[in-house]
Amino acid sequence: MIWAEAISFTPLAFLLIASTLRNMDSALEEAAIACGVGPIKAFRSITLPLIVPGIAGAAMLLFINGMEAFEIPLLMGLSKGIFLFSTNIYYSLHVAFPPQYGLGFASSR
């Protein structure tokens, strides 16, 4: 399930982080290297601080999408008895008999 989720989220992460790198000014790195700073120090002191907000935004979006993911855990995990957050809500409201409305509604808040 982790592999399938990672494969489905990889294009979104790539698009978000690639646009951050595309909009970054490369003249800053070139100026640092021209001043005698090594490539690793230029990456740590210039590139990394510029791309951290894009990586953090992508990480937040992917974390929220991962928490609300339903189809892959339902198809791959529920048949094996592996319950994630979203499938636990679904199981308590639709599959369990009698339905456990209290547990499902409390989990969904």
13, 53: one domain: yes
To 10 degrees, what angle do helices 2-22 and 48-68 make? Answer: 150
pTM for the full predicted model: 0.75
Q: Give the total number of structural domains in the chain.
A: 2
* Residue 65 CA from chain centroid, whole number: 7
* Residue 75: inside a domain: no
59, 89: one domain: no
Q: How confident is the model at residue 60 (pLDDT cuts 50, 70, 90)?
A: very high
* Residue 47: inside a domain: yes
63, 85: one domain: no
Range of the domain at 51: 2-69
62, 86: one domain: no
Check residue 83 and give its pLDDT.
Answer: 87
89, 55: one domain: no
58, 16: one domain: yes
Give the CB-side neighbour count of residue 70, counting CA atoms within 13 A.
6
31, 54: one domain: yes
Please provide the average confidence, as pLDDT, over all residues in the chain: 91
* Residue 12: inside a domain: yes
Q: Quick one: CA dihedral 71, 82, 8, 22, positive or negative?
A: positive
